[in-house]
Amino acid sequence: MKNGIESQVIEEGNLRAVKDTGDFGGPNMWHFKVKDATGWFRDVQWMDVSNIQPFFKTRLPQYTQVGTKRFKKL
Per-residue pLDDT, 25: 86
* Strand spans (E) along the chain: 9-12, 15-19, 29-35, 41-48, 63-66, 70-73
Q: How far apart are CA 35 and CA 44, in angstroms?
A: 10
Nearest Cα to Cα of residue 58 among 8, 10, 5, 7: 10
Per-residue pLDDT, 71: 59
Question: How many Cα atoms are found within 13 Å in the side-chain-facing hemisphere of 48?
Answer: 6
pTM above 0.85, yes or no: no
The low-confidence residues of the chain, meaning pLDDT below 50, are 1
Domain layout of the chain by residue ranges? 9-73
Per-residue pLDDT, 69: 56
Task: State the burial class of residue 52 (Cβ atoms within 10 Å of its Cβ: 0-12, 13-18, 19+).
Answer: buried
